[in-house]
Structure 1
């Protein structure tokens, strides 16, 4: 029988099998064979030749660590402390003063130390851990819920308010989709517009409308899903009579709706807003207009200054409303068609808009109030122009 290949003569020192693990102190001497004889003295059965060489430990191989002494160099045990109870470095132990007495607030040896009380909400959860859920049901938080924004299909808008919906039902240019009414709202709208209508209403309760439009919306029990109105051209507006209102970056939909309501009350021809910095046709705007959205054309202009230039080319006298201007007098414009230009509340007219107007006029205000809301100022100015 041949010896293993790695233990043949001239093959180098042998290695222990991998399943025996590293050499450990105190174990059997693996360099000895049966009977305690060195492996180098064993003979193989092939002509008396040596089957194994004398094994020597490899240089740099694993060496066992010497056992750690339980005593220090001075002969004392390692864990032993001096009899005075002080550590070797002379510092007092934790919880003791230098005289060996416990510090203030620290329990004496053998006493139980009470753990500090920590609120449950102060316990830090481990990273990635799920918070504990109570079986008592969800807790109520005293935080204001975010306002619900009415969602409508693309290209449509939810209108609400009894006057706004009654005017929309009477407008043949308005394309209607769905009509949701409570019993009370249907009875009131039927008094102003006799049924049958172009759309059959769906009977709902207020809770459903609150969920659809939001609890902060004053819908008066009526909601209408419809398409936005197509704005007319500026040329069609110039063919009508009446003043024209131009709004320079008025962004509040309620202000725009209130101005449209005043425009309808004083016989204005149209309201022109900027295309970008102006509100879209929404339910809030329609409710503030109280039906005027269906009767007063609402135009959107890309550039207000160019629109004013186009109005001036059509013989329309453009008046910019500002507190620094001369008092507005309606009889002074008896023989002219007027366009009233109003700026955003607070900022007023922009520089280019102001310079493009024919003149700047203001309102006579008496008292401690320096200015008016833009919708209130528009109503006063339209009333003054109606006196001519």
Structure 2
């Protein structure tokens, strides 16, 4: 029997019902809540022959933990992060120069979810994270990602530095981010097969990660803050790459 997990939140549930209905097992809605957005979910579930149950608020609170469920939870057949071997297949299957986002030890699930959401919007081929000391695919990550956790491959690797060296052998250009880098991302080439590397909250990239980057770039900062949240930085870098590629 397939393992299941629960995602929650109106947008995340709607996205999965539309894009991956084959993974949906049970739609769970809050009793007494019947508005346009909830009715849309009911209709989507009916059109895909997905069972719907109405339960009290306490049950949805239990399923969602400390997170806001907005009256909707969806039990899905779980697909976790992919292994290192999947990355080779993704690169082989790419019909355009791959764009990868590498997160070196991002531990906050809200940041990982936000990065996945941005990665989906920017057309990223895959997001790469280390297995240890980093956030994985939790229910919170899936909710914050608003459906992107179901569309963007998340690759977990045992040794990130080794993976970066392997990507170089695949002719992928590795660009890391550093507040003290001499070159701004706006003066750097971000076309062709590319991996953008961001460090963990606070500590940044680890030494071996930094040493395996082909280039380091900075995001210009004009105010008093020294750095951006990692998910915001991911958006800035990815969309500069998108702009250059278009």
Structures share fold, TM-score greater than 0.5: yes
Q: Which has the larger radius of gyration?
A: 1
Alpha-carbon RMSD across the aligned residues, in angstroms, is 2.3
Query: 1:148-187 maps to which residues of 2 (within 5 A)?
Result: 155-172=3-20, 175-182=23-30, 183-184=34-35, 185-187=37-39
Query: 1:118-137 maps to which residues of 2 (within 5 A)?
Result: none
Contact 1:168 1:174 (C-alpha < 8 Å) held by counterparts:
no
Aligned counterpart for 1:274 among listed residues 106, 109, 130: 130
Unpaired stretches in structure 1, ≥5 consecutive residues: 1-153
Q: Cα gap change, 1:229/1:381 in structure 2, threshold over 3 Å: closer, same or farther?
A: same
Partner of 2:230: 374
Contact 2:105 2:200 (C-alpha < 8 Å) held by counterparts:
yes
- Of Structure 1 and Structure 2, the greater helix share is in 2
Give the TM-score, by structure 2 length.
0.86
* C-alpha distance in structure 1 between counterparts of 2:106 and 2:138, whole Å: 15
Cα deviation 1:35-86 (Å, max 9, x = unaligned): xxxxxxxxxxxxxxxxxxxxxxxxxxxxxxxxxxxxxxxxxxxxxxxxxxxx
* C-alpha distance in structure 2 between counterparts of 1:371 and 1:309, whole Å: 27
Q: Does 1:327 align with 2:179?
A: no
Q: Does 1:202 align with 2:58?
A: no
Partner of 2:78: 228
Contact 2:101 2:197 (C-alpha < 8 Å) held by counterparts:
yes
Give the TM-score, by structure 1 length.
0.56
Tell me the CA shift for residue 382 of structure 1. 0.8
Partner of 1:28: none
Greater RCO, CA 8 A, separation 6+ = 2
* C-alpha distance in structure 2 between counterparts of 1:331 and 1:351, whole Å: 22
Q: Cα gap change, 1:370/1:349 in structure 2, threshold over 3 Å: closer, same or farther?
A: same
Q: Cα gap change, 1:169/1:198 in structure 2, threshold over 3 Å: closer, same or farther?
A: farther
Partner of 1:301: 157
* C-alpha distance in structure 2 between counterparts of 1:198 and 1:341, whole Å: 42
Q: Which moved more, 1:372-381 or 1:165-174?
A: 165-174
Cα deviation 1:278-332 (Å, max 9, x = unaligned): 2232111011111111111111111100111111111110001111112112772
* C-alpha distance in structure 1 between counterparts of 2:187 and 2:140, whole Å: 32
Query: 1:64-83 maps to which residues of 2 (within 5 A)?
Result: none
SS of residue matched to 1:329: helix
Unpaired stretches in structure 2, ≥5 consecutive residues: none
Q: Cα gap change, 1:279/1:228 in structure 2, threshold over 3 Å: closer, same or farther?
A: farther
Contact 2:188 2:217 (C-alpha < 8 Å) held by counterparts:
no
SS of residue matched to 2:59: helix
Cα deviation 1:153-198 (Å, max 9, x = unaligned): x94322101121122223448633332013345313357x473224
Contact 2:45 2:51 (C-alpha < 8 Å) held by counterparts:
no
Query: 1:82-121 maps to which residues of 2 (within 5 A)?
Result: none
* C-alpha distance in structure 2 between counterparts of 1:228 and 1:247, whole Å: 23
* C-alpha distance in structure 2 between counterparts of 1:213 and 1:387, whole Å: 37
Total equivalences in the alignment:
233
Q: Does 1:345 align with 2:214?
A: no
